[in-house]
Amino acid sequence: MDETLETSIENNEEFHSGKIYCANCIHCKLVPFWQENGQSYVLRVHCAAGKWKKKLGKEKYYRYFTIFHRYLDECDAYEDMGDTKEFIRELHSVLSGKDEIFLMPEK
């Protein structure tokens, strides 16, 4: 992990105590998002509890490498998966900073 990022998380500059981080919720799911060519996909996350909606009611998807930035003040469906601060720190260290394209395996 970038040393500056590690320091900022430790100093709570990037981490917001008392907030609900969606990435640390059991309802935050990683799903393939197929490209128009039908031969490749990228990864996205969505809320399986249906809490991420657009203004017109459609479900909202986020790029998986940005999910550690999404937090709320409250959520009635939130079920944590452990220590939030440690989890967010780990996400910062393992997630790529851009979309990765996955190709459909040849049969």
Q: Per residue in 51-82, pLDDT tens?
A: 999 999 999 999 988 888 889 999 999 999 98
Q: What is the pLDDT of residue 48?
A: 96
Residue 16 domain boundaries: 3-93
d(CA 34, CA 81): 28
Q: What is the pLDDT of residue 92?
A: 81
**54 located within any domain:** yes
Report pTM. Answer: 0.75
**103 located within any domain:** no
**106 located within any domain:** no
**77 located within any domain:** yes
**82 located within any domain:** yes
Q: What is the pLDDT of residue 13?
A: 52
- Tally of domains within the chain: 1
d(CA 84, CA 25): 9
* Three-state SS at 78: coil
Residues in the chain with pLDDT values less than 70: 1-14, 107
**87 located within any domain:** yes
**98 located within any domain:** no
**86 located within any domain:** yes
Q: What is the pLDDT of residue 43?
A: 92
